Amino acid sequence: KAGVTQTPRYLIKTRGQQVTLSCSPISGHRSVSWYQQTPGQGLQFLFEYFSETQRNKGNFPGRFSGRQFSNSRSEMNVSTLELGDSALYLCASSLKKEVADTQYFGPGTRLTVL
Amino acid sequence: TQLLEQSPQFLSIQEGENLTVYCNSSSVFSSLQWYRQEPGEGPVLLVTVVTGGEVKKLKRLTFQFGDARKDSSLHITAAQPGDTGLYLCAGYNAGNMLTFGGGTRLMVKP
Protein backbone atom coordinates (compact mmCIF):
# COMPACT_ATOMS: atom_id res chain seq x y z
CA LYS A 1 0.00 0.00 0.00
CA ALA A 2 1.47 3.36 -0.98
CA GLY A 3 2.13 5.83 1.83
CA VAL A 4 1.03 9.43 2.16
CA THR A 5 2.46 11.56 -0.61
CA GLN A 6 2.95 15.30 -0.57
CA THR A 7 3.78 17.61 -3.42
CA PRO A 8 5.87 19.54 -3.94
CA ARG A 9 8.62 18.48 -1.54
CA TYR A 10 10.34 21.86 -1.62
CA LEU A 11 9.03 25.30 -2.42
CA ILE A 12 10.50 28.80 -2.38
CA LYS A 13 8.18 31.80 -2.41
CA THR A 14 8.44 35.50 -1.65
CA ARG A 15 6.48 37.53 0.87
CA GLY A 16 2.98 38.39 -0.24
CA GLN A 17 2.62 35.45 -2.60
CA GLN A 18 0.23 32.60 -2.06
CA VAL A 19 0.96 28.88 -2.13
CA THR A 20 -0.99 25.63 -2.49
CA LEU A 21 0.29 22.35 -1.10
CA SER A 22 -1.13 18.95 -1.98
CA CYS A 23 -1.55 15.74 -0.01
CA SER A 24 -2.65 12.31 -1.22
CA PRO A 25 -3.66 10.05 1.68
CA ILE A 26 -3.27 6.32 1.95
CA SER A 27 -5.94 4.56 -0.07
CA GLY A 28 -9.07 4.08 2.02
CA HIS A 29 -8.18 6.77 4.56
CA ARG A 30 -10.85 9.42 4.83
CA SER A 31 -9.24 11.75 7.35
CA VAL A 32 -6.46 14.16 6.45
CA SER A 33 -4.80 16.45 8.97
CA TRP A 34 -2.28 19.21 8.34
CA TYR A 35 0.50 20.33 10.66
CA GLN A 36 3.13 23.05 10.62
CA GLN A 37 6.57 22.20 12.02
CA THR A 38 9.10 24.91 12.89
CA PRO A 39 12.22 24.84 15.08
CA GLY A 40 10.72 27.40 17.45
CA GLN A 41 7.13 26.22 17.81
CA GLY A 42 7.50 22.53 17.05
CA LEU A 43 4.64 20.60 15.47
CA GLN A 44 1.35 22.48 15.51
CA PHE A 45 -2.05 21.30 14.31
CA LEU A 46 -3.53 23.32 11.45
CA PHE A 47 -6.79 21.56 10.53
CA GLU A 48 -8.42 18.21 9.87
CA TYR A 49 -10.73 17.18 7.07
CA PHE A 50 -12.99 14.16 7.00
CA SER A 51 -15.25 13.32 4.07
CA GLU A 52 -14.70 16.77 2.53
CA THR A 53 -15.69 18.60 5.75
CA GLN A 54 -13.38 20.50 8.07
CA ARG A 55 -13.78 18.87 11.48
CA ASN A 56 -11.18 20.68 13.53
CA LYS A 57 -9.12 23.82 13.19
CA GLY A 58 -6.04 24.87 15.10
CA ASN A 59 -5.08 28.36 16.19
CA PHE A 60 -3.85 29.79 12.89
CA PRO A 61 -4.94 32.94 11.05
CA GLY A 62 -7.47 32.86 8.26
CA ARG A 63 -4.66 33.07 5.69
CA PHE A 64 -4.34 29.33 6.20
CA SER A 65 -7.12 27.36 4.55
CA GLY A 66 -7.68 23.92 3.19
CA ARG A 67 -10.08 21.64 1.42
CA GLN A 68 -10.62 17.98 0.75
CA PHE A 69 -11.87 16.41 -2.42
CA SER A 70 -14.24 13.46 -2.90
CA ASN A 71 -11.25 11.13 -3.42
CA SER A 72 -9.90 12.25 0.01
CA ARG A 73 -6.98 14.16 -1.51
CA SER A 74 -6.43 17.42 0.29
CA GLU A 75 -4.89 20.78 -0.42
CA MET A 76 -3.89 23.57 1.89
CA ASN A 77 -3.47 27.16 0.83
CA VAL A 78 -1.57 29.97 2.47
CA SER A 79 -2.27 33.45 1.18
CA THR A 80 -0.22 36.61 1.63
CA LEU A 81 2.85 34.70 2.74
CA GLU A 82 4.95 36.03 5.62
CA LEU A 83 8.54 35.20 6.52
CA GLY A 84 7.28 33.34 9.58
CA ASP A 85 5.35 30.92 7.38
CA SER A 86 8.64 29.24 6.47
CA ALA A 87 8.23 25.74 7.83
CA LEU A 88 7.83 22.07 7.10
CA TYR A 89 4.18 21.38 6.35
CA LEU A 90 3.15 17.83 7.14
CA CYS A 91 -0.01 16.04 6.24
CA ALA A 92 -1.23 12.88 7.92
CA SER A 93 -3.99 10.48 7.01
CA SER A 94 -5.97 8.00 9.08
CA LEU A 95 -9.06 5.83 8.88
CA LYS A 96 -10.49 7.94 11.73
CA LYS A 97 -12.84 5.34 13.06
CA GLU A 98 -11.62 6.26 16.55
CA VAL A 99 -10.08 9.42 17.99
CA ALA A 100 -6.69 7.80 18.65
CA ASP A 101 -6.46 6.13 15.25
CA THR A 102 -2.91 5.86 13.95
CA GLN A 103 -1.97 8.84 11.84
CA TYR A 104 0.41 8.18 8.95
CA PHE A 105 2.50 11.17 8.05
CA GLY A 106 3.84 12.15 4.68
CA PRO A 107 7.42 13.40 4.20
CA GLY A 108 6.28 17.01 4.23
CA THR A 109 6.65 20.06 2.02
CA ARG A 110 9.43 22.41 3.05
CA LEU A 111 8.31 25.96 2.34
CA THR A 112 10.82 28.80 2.39
CA VAL A 113 9.49 32.35 2.26
CA LEU A 114 12.03 35.00 1.23
CA THR B 1 -4.82 24.71 26.63
CA GLN B 2 -3.30 21.28 27.15
CA LEU B 3 0.46 21.53 26.82
CA LEU B 4 3.03 18.77 26.68
CA GLU B 5 6.54 19.50 27.88
CA GLN B 6 9.36 17.20 26.90
CA SER B 7 12.75 16.88 28.52
CA PRO B 8 15.53 16.92 27.74
CA GLN B 9 15.38 18.88 24.50
CA PHE B 10 18.71 17.48 23.30
CA LEU B 11 20.59 14.33 24.21
CA SER B 12 23.91 13.14 22.86
CA ILE B 13 25.11 9.77 24.12
CA GLN B 14 27.48 6.96 23.22
CA GLU B 15 26.31 3.70 21.72
CA GLY B 16 25.36 1.23 24.44
CA GLU B 17 24.18 3.80 26.99
CA ASN B 18 20.67 3.93 28.41
CA LEU B 19 18.45 7.01 28.34
CA THR B 20 15.02 8.24 29.40
CA VAL B 21 12.90 10.94 27.80
CA TYR B 22 10.06 12.55 29.72
CA CYS B 23 6.76 14.02 28.61
CA ASN B 24 4.80 15.98 31.21
CA SER B 25 1.54 17.89 31.35
CA SER B 26 -0.68 19.49 33.95
CA SER B 27 -3.68 18.08 32.09
CA VAL B 28 -5.08 14.58 31.85
CA PHE B 29 -4.92 12.90 28.47
CA SER B 30 -7.12 10.01 27.39
CA SER B 31 -4.09 8.59 25.59
CA LEU B 32 -0.54 9.55 24.73
CA GLN B 33 1.45 8.65 21.67
CA TRP B 34 5.17 8.56 20.96
CA TYR B 35 6.59 9.26 17.50
CA ARG B 36 10.06 9.22 16.00
CA GLN B 37 10.98 11.52 13.16
CA GLU B 38 14.09 11.21 11.03
CA PRO B 39 15.51 13.98 8.80
CA GLY B 40 13.50 14.45 5.62
CA GLU B 41 10.66 12.28 6.86
CA GLY B 42 7.39 12.70 8.69
CA PRO B 43 6.91 11.36 12.24
CA VAL B 44 6.26 7.64 12.58
CA LEU B 45 4.07 6.33 15.39
CA LEU B 46 5.94 4.10 17.84
CA VAL B 47 3.26 3.42 20.45
CA THR B 48 -0.04 4.54 21.95
CA VAL B 49 -0.58 4.23 25.71
CA VAL B 50 -4.12 4.41 26.98
CA THR B 51 -4.39 3.12 30.54
CA GLY B 52 -2.86 4.88 33.55
CA GLY B 53 0.20 2.96 34.73
CA GLU B 54 0.46 1.10 31.45
CA VAL B 55 3.88 -0.12 30.33
CA LYS B 56 4.57 -1.12 26.74
CA LYS B 57 7.78 -2.55 25.33
CA LEU B 58 8.99 -2.35 21.77
CA LYS B 59 12.31 -4.22 21.55
CA ARG B 60 14.76 -1.98 23.45
CA LEU B 61 12.18 0.80 23.95
CA THR B 62 9.96 0.89 27.06
CA PHE B 63 7.05 3.31 27.27
CA GLN B 64 5.20 4.14 30.47
CA PHE B 65 2.00 6.12 31.03
CA GLY B 66 1.71 7.80 34.42
CA ASP B 67 -0.94 6.60 36.85
CA ALA B 68 -2.74 9.95 36.62
CA ARG B 69 -2.44 9.97 32.80
CA LYS B 70 -0.62 13.32 32.88
CA ASP B 71 2.86 12.14 32.02
CA SER B 72 4.76 9.52 30.08
CA SER B 73 8.32 8.34 29.66
CA LEU B 74 10.33 6.60 26.99
CA HIS B 75 13.33 4.54 28.08
CA ILE B 76 15.84 3.19 25.58
CA THR B 77 18.20 0.43 26.66
CA ALA B 78 21.60 0.04 25.03
CA ALA B 79 21.05 2.81 22.50
CA GLN B 80 22.29 2.29 18.96
CA PRO B 81 23.15 4.82 16.23
CA GLY B 82 19.95 3.78 14.44
CA ASP B 83 17.97 5.23 17.38
CA THR B 84 19.13 8.72 16.40
CA GLY B 85 16.21 11.01 15.62
CA LEU B 86 13.60 13.38 17.00
CA TYR B 87 11.28 11.79 19.55
CA LEU B 88 7.89 13.39 19.99
CA CYS B 89 5.12 12.75 22.46
CA ALA B 90 1.57 13.72 21.53
CA GLY B 91 -1.89 13.56 23.01
CA TYR B 92 -5.42 14.30 21.90
CA ASN B 93 -6.91 17.31 23.64
CA ALA B 94 -10.55 17.87 24.52
CA GLY B 95 -11.20 19.09 20.97
CA ASN B 96 -9.79 15.88 19.49
CA MET B 97 -6.79 17.74 18.08
CA LEU B 98 -3.41 16.06 18.35
CA THR B 99 -1.08 18.20 20.50
CA PHE B 100 2.66 17.58 20.29
CA GLY B 101 5.42 18.13 22.78
CA GLY B 102 8.47 20.13 21.74
CA GLY B 103 10.47 17.02 20.99
CA THR B 104 13.73 15.46 22.16
CA ARG B 105 16.53 15.36 19.64
CA LEU B 106 18.62 12.24 20.29
CA MET B 107 22.02 11.56 18.81
CA VAL B 108 23.70 8.23 19.47
CA LYS B 109 27.38 8.22 18.57
CA PRO B 110 29.12 4.98 17.57
Give B102's Cβ-side CA count (13 Å radius): 13
Closest CA to A78 of A48, A43, A113: A113
Q: How far is CA B61 from the centre of its chain?
A: 10
Cβ-defined contact of A42 to B102 (cutoff 8 Å): yes
A58 pLDDT above the threshold of 80? yes
CB contact under 8 A, B45 and A4: no
Q: Is the pLDDT of residue B100 over 80?
A: yes
- Inspect the interface and report whether the beta carbons of B42 and A92 lie closer than 8 Å: yes
Question: Of A33, A36, A43, which to mutate for an interface test with B (greatest number of B Cβ within 10 Å)?
Answer: A43
Q: What 3-state class would DSSP assign to A11?
A: strand
* Interface-testing mutation among B98, B99, B100, B104, with chain A (most A C-beta atoms within 10 A): B98
* Rg, Å, chain A Cα set: 13
Tens-place pLDDT, residues B72-84: 999 999 999 999 9
Q: Map residue B24 onto helix, strand or coil.
A: strand
The answer to whether A99 contacts B40, with C-beta atoms less than 8 Å apart, is no
First to last CA, chain B: 40
Per-residue pLDDT of A63-105, as tens digits, reads 999 999 999 999 999 999 999 999 999 999 998 766 667 899 9
For strand B19-24 and strand B71-76, is the pairing parallel, antiparallel, or unpaired?
antiparallel
Which residues of chain A have a CB within 8 Å of the CB of B97? 45, 48, 56, 58
CB–CB contact A43 B103 (8 Å): yes
Cα dihedral B43, B74, B60, B49 sign: negative
Q: Residue A24, class by beta-carbon neighbours within 10 Å (0-12 exposed, 13-18 middle, 19+ buried)?
A: buried
Distance spanning both ends of chain A, measured CA to CA = 37
Cβ-nearest to A100 among B42, B44, B92? B92
B8-44 confidence digits (pLDDT tens): 999 999 999 999 999 999 988 888 999 999 988 999 9
Closest to A57 in 3D by CA, of A49, A47, A66, A67: A47
CA–CA separation, A19 and A21 (whole Å) = 7
Which chain B residues are closer than 8 Å to A104 by Cβ?
Answer: 45
* Cβ contact A108–B42 (<8 Å): yes
